[in-house]
Amino acid sequence: MTTFKPLVDAECGTTNPLIKLSELYKEDKKLVIQDGINPSLINFSDTNLTINSDTIVDELVNEYHRPIIAPNTFHLESLLKDLHPSDPQYEWTKQFLDSCSTYDLPSSPPQSLTLYEQNYIQSPACFILHPNPIFLDQQPYPIDAEFNNDTVEATNNILSLLQESQFAANTECKTSVNDINVQHDTDALNENKRQSDANLSLFNDQTPSSQLSSGQLNNHTGYKFIQPNPFFDYINPYEEGLKHLEVHDIVNAILFFEAAVQNKHDHTDAWLCLGITQSENGQDVHAIDALKKCIELDSKNTQAYITLASCYANKMLKREALNSLHQWLINHNKYSHLLSNHRLHSIRDIEIIFEDLKNLFLQAILLSKNSNTIDSDLQVCLGILFYLYDDYNKATECFNTAILAKPNDALLWNKLGAAIANSGLNEQAVNAYYHALRLSPGFIRARYNLGKSCLNLNAYRQAIEHFLIALKQQNNVYSQMSDDIWHTLAIAIDCLKRPDLIEYVRYKNLSKLLHEFEIE
Amino acid sequence: MTKDDQLQATVAFAEINKRADSQPGLIKKINAVIVFDVTKDGKIQKSWTIDGKQGTLYEGKPKEGTTAQVTITVDDNDFVDLASGKANAPSLFAKGKLKVKGNVMLAQKLSTLFKEQSKL
């Protein structure tokens, strides 16, 4: 025991070393050991955070920074220590960041919307975002010193705003569900519908959680029309709708297509166009409703199935998306024979279904390779399949190949952009979105995606401009603007540190905001 | 004074739940059980469990039979930044504003919940 005397004995004026050590070492009995991580290491108190957690922090930080290659000397913690508000360097960084956030495109005042677009799109090279990767993520830090009640208040405002919109969404959902019950009774059950139900039952999932999500959609068979519709009495609304699509006027095209199907319930093409256009408008729920109607009338409509697959993928409804892809294959005259050799499992395990479908699509691609052509739809199907399972790299490859066959299809460019953006490469995604918008300037979804990528790249002003233009294009006396876009706009405005503008967002005062950001 | 008894995190979680309603597979994508201990003035005020295996998000500690794979302790204000996408987990972690117990790698899955997804 005498050997421990130096450890245990108290020296004058200090705590004895053993007790000091035990203070640092705490045990958390609740912790479960995972992956060989020793809980005692993780529970070191704050002062020891850096010692053993360095590797963890580096790994985490590097994971997030994967698309941006940080230099080996990049140590976040030491940089943070270096940034003090009183440091003369701080002023410089603050100014740099201020100038970066107002880094703009050539801003010649637009005479018309299309002219603005031309200026915008002609110079994607000028679309310069933060060149220095360090600042991409440090932007909050220097302003840290200014974290005060204003910021907190602004955040409060935004959150209460979001809460309001959530409330609105709930009531909307309730009324629409009530409407459906009425419509469901009046829908005639025809042979096609029974047929499609039989097809769908292959994948009918009995597990409660999935039933909840797809069940909600199944009940929602009634398409919710805009009332009143100014074009209701037009002679040939479908043709008018197509004409408006030609000039990239999505919102009015939708109104025309709705009029067309209300006048003629079995207008398959109108339902299809309505579905595709609603998807371009960013309204997947409406798109799905319209496309399901189309399939009821024409169960072999491959274009409807492929659009449904991408809508379901956006909603992360795997089973429904897989089913749609499967239906595409069954009903495609070139490839349906592949299924006769292949007994597709009617198992609940969707992982197996994924493998089967993937193999089938790959076989189909081999077929078309023999004839030296690229079937872009086939590539899109495979791309959606990979996208569903978060393999964005492979999805990007597929969409790229599809574009080779159809370089002027704006929808393809948007899909490419989405796959690239979701894999973290927002700068590259921006290029793809510009292509899409050049081909189709009224493509709301592509513009919204572009804004989101700008937001991810901390280009707040550009993001806000994109959102505002999208909202402006959607703004119509008869139809509503997208709540989602307003929501993201609120976040961007908060990031730009303009709490004075939050009021405009709250009351959806678009004209004031357009004026503020100098958009005509 | 602001509504002190209500954490901003409550609103933020409600928002995430709303997003999950319109994207039914969202929470399942996490595929892990993550618990948030939200603090205010240094004390843990409320906990939330994100059960990626079941696809549910609820207030409180994990239910009977469910174990947290990672527990994240964060202040209310910082959580709001995290949820709105203004700050990310690694940066908060490095600043010491976010404490993690358990499988740290799972914490990076949070970006799925908080980031705005691009749409096909």
CATH number where A344 lies: 1.25.40
Distance to chain A for B106, nearest Cα, Å: 10
Please tell me the predicted confidence (pLDDT) of residue A153: 57
Per-range mean pLDDT, top range of A122-131, A465-474, B52-61: A465-474
Q: What is the CA radius of gyration of chain B?
A: 14
CA distance A335 to A153: 59
pTM > 0.90 = no
CA distance A12 to A369: 85
Cross-chain Cβ contact A61/B90 below 8 Å: yes
Q: A332 with A242, same domain?
A: no
> Is residue A122 in a domain?
no
Query: Which is more confidently placed, A119 or A254?
Result: A254
- Tokens 């907190």, residue? A152
Please tell me the predicted confidence (pLDDT) of residue A30: 52
CA distance A157 to A329: 49
Asked which of A111-115, A498-502, B21-25 is least confident by mean pLDDT, the reply is: A111-115
Give chain B positions within 8 Å (CB) of A80: 94-95
> Is residue A426 in a domain?
no
User: A333 φ, ψ to 5°?
Assistant: -65, -25
Could you tell me the CA-to-CA distances from A301 to A94, A384, B18, B89 in Å, in that order? Answer: 57, 18, 33, 45
Q: A273 with A332, same domain?
A: no
Question: How big is chain A, counted in residues?
Answer: 520
Which of A251, A266, A298 is at the close of a domain?
A298
pLDDT score of B40 more than 60:
yes
Q: Which sign does the torsion angle of CA A60, A65, A71, A76 carry? A: negative
Interface residue A404 vs chain B (CB under 8 A): no
Question: How big is chain B, counted in residues?
Answer: 120
Please tell me the predicted confidence (pLDDT) of residue B107: 80
As given in the structure block, the two tokens for residue A415 are 């899909």
pLDDT score of A106 more than 60:
no
Q: Which sign does the torsion angle of CA A298, A300, A303, A307 carry? A: positive
Give chain A positions within 8 Å (CB) of B15: 159, 162-163, 166
Please tell me the predicted confidence (pLDDT) of residue A201: 42
Q: Which sign does the torsion angle of CA A464, A467, A468, A469 carry? A: positive
Please tell me the predicted confidence (pLDDT) of residue B74: 94
| Type of residue numbered A219 | N
Please tell me the predicted confidence (pLDDT) of residue A443: 97
Cross-chain Cβ contact A159/B8 below 8 Å: yes
Q: Classify strands B56-59 and B43-51 as parallel, antiparallel or unpaired.
A: antiparallel
| Type of residue numbered A200 | L
CATH number of the domain that residue A250 is part of:
1.25.40.10
Please tell me the predicted confidence (pLDDT) of residue A481: 93
Asked which of A82-91, A259-268, A351-360 is least confident by mean pLDDT, the reply is: A82-91
Could you tell me the CA-to-CA distances from A54 to A48, A77, A148, B82, B97 in Å, in that order? Answer: 10, 9, 30, 21, 15
As given in the structure block, the two tokens for residue A15 are 């705590």
CA distance A238 to A274: 10
CA distance A242 to A256: 9
- Closest partner residue to B101 (CB to CB) among A28, A314, A315 is A28
pLDDT score of A215 more than 70:
no
Average pLDDT, chain A: 74
CA distance B70 to B36: 9
Cross-chain Cβ contact A284/B119 below 8 Å: yes
CATH number of the domain that residue B27 is part of:
3.30.1050.10
Q: A292 with A327, same domain?
A: no
Interface residue B84 vs chain A (CB under 8 A): yes
Q: A260 with A317, same domain?
A: no
Please tell me the predicted confidence (pLDDT) of residue B14: 86
> Is residue A130 in a domain?
no
ipTM of the complex in this document: 0.77
Give residue A94's pLDDT band: very low, low, confident or very high (50, 70, 90).
Answer: low
- Closest partner residue to B95 (CB to CB) among A39, A80, A414 is A80
Average pLDDT, chain B: 85
Region A150-175: mean pLDDT is 51
Query: Which is more confidently placed, A480 or A61?
Result: A480
- Closest partner residue to B108 (CB to CB) among A60, A315, A390 is A60
CB-facing half-sphere around the CA of A486: CA atoms within 13 A: 23
Give residue B26's pLDDT band: very low, low, confident or very high (50, 70, 90).
Answer: confident
Give residue A62's pLDDT band: very low, low, confident or very high (50, 70, 90).
Answer: low
Cross-chain Cβ contact A64/B108 below 8 Å: yes
Task: Provide the residue range defining the domain that includes A397.
Answer: 306-406
Distance to chain B for A431, nearest Cα, Å: 14
Query: Which is more confidently placed, A351 or A424?
Result: A424
Please tell me the predicted confidence (pLDDT) of residue A5: 64
Q: A219 with A274, same domain?
A: yes
- Tokens 């490419």, residue? A416
> Is residue A457 in a domain?
no
Please tell me the predicted confidence (pLDDT) of residue A257: 97
pLDDT score of A91 more than 60:
no
Please tell me the predicted confidence (pLDDT) of residue B24: 77
User: A229 φ, ψ to 5°?
Assistant: -110, 115
Give residue A205's pLDDT band: very low, low, confident or very high (50, 70, 90).
Answer: very low
pLDDT score of A95 more than 80:
no
Q: A315 with A384, same domain?
A: yes
pLDDT score of A121 more than 50:
no
Mutating which of A62, A141, A166, A211 best tests the B interface, going by the most B Cβ atoms within 10 A? Answer: A166
Region A60-80: mean pLDDT is 53
Note the Cα A337 to chain centre separation in Å.
35
Q: A235 with A326, same domain?
A: no
Q: A311 with A381, same domain?
A: yes
Residue A203's nearest CA partner among A347, A368, A370 is A347
Residue A393's nearest CA partner among A61, A66, A121, A60 is A66
Q: How many domains does chain A have?
A: 2
Give residue B35's pLDDT band: very low, low, confident or very high (50, 70, 90).
Answer: very high
Give residue A368's pLDDT band: very low, low, confident or very high (50, 70, 90).
Answer: confident
CA distance A116 to A123: 11
Q: A339 with A364, same domain?
A: yes
Contacts of A496 (CB under 8 A, 6+ apart): A101, A460, A461, A464
Which of A298, A323, A346 is at the close of a domain?
A298
Give residue A378's pLDDT band: very low, low, confident or very high (50, 70, 90).
Answer: very high
As given in the structure block, the two tokens for residue A494 are 């908060």
Crossing angle for the helix pair A268-280 and A302-314, to the nearest 10 degrees: 30
Please tell me the predicted confidence (pLDDT) of residue A137: 38
Order the strands of the B56-59 sheet from edge to edge. Answer: B56-59, B43-51, B33-40, B70-75, B98-102
pLDDT score of A232 more than 80:
yes
Cross-chain Cβ contact A494/B23 below 8 Å: no
- Closest partner residue to B2 (CB to CB) among A156, A212, A422 is A156
Contact in structure between B35 and B72 (CB atoms under 8 Å): yes
> Is residue A260 in a domain?
yes
CA distance A107 to A125: 14
> Is residue A234 in a domain?
yes
Region A141-155: mean pLDDT is 47
State which residue of chain A sits closest to B116, comparing Cα positions: A452
C-beta atoms surrounding B86 within 10 Å: 18
Residue A55's nearest CA partner among A70, A66, A68, A41 is A41
As given in the structure block, the two tokens for residue A10 are 């108290």
Asked which of A274-278, A304-308, A356-360 is least confident by mean pLDDT, the reply is: A356-360
Contact in structure between A206 and A306 (CB atoms under 8 Å): no
Give residue B42's pLDDT band: very low, low, confident or very high (50, 70, 90).
Answer: confident
Contact in structure between B50 and B33 (CB atoms under 8 Å): yes
Contact in structure between B33 and B52 (CB atoms under 8 Å): yes
Q: A270 with A218, same domain?
A: yes
CA distance A85 to A94: 10
Interface residue B19 vs chain A (CB under 8 A): no
Please tell me the predicted confidence (pLDDT) of residue A310: 97
- pLDDT (tens digit, 9 = 90+) per residue, A422-476? 998 999 999 999 999 999 999 999 999 999 999 988 899 999 999 999 999 999 9
- pLDDT (tens digit, 9 = 90+) per residue, A323-350? 999 999 999 999 988 887 666 555 567 7
Quote the strand ranges of chain B, DSSP E.
Answer: 33-40, 43-51, 56-59, 70-75, 98-102
| Type of residue numbered A12 | C
Give residue B25's pLDDT band: very low, low, confident or very high (50, 70, 90).
Answer: confident
Q: What is the CA radius of gyration of chain A?
A: 28
Task: Provide the residue range defining the domain that includes B83.
Answer: 3-117
- Closest partner residue to A316 (CB to CB) among B24, B95, B108 is B24
Which of A252, A267, A298 is at the close of a domain?
A298
State which residue of chain B sits closest to A155, comparing Cα positions: B80
Interface residue A448 vs chain B (CB under 8 A): yes
Q: How many domains does chain B have?
A: 1
- pLDDT (tens digit, 9 = 90+) per residue, A386-406? 999 989 999 999 999 999 999
State which residue of chain B sits closest to A159, comparing Cα positions: B11
CA distance A381 to A358: 9
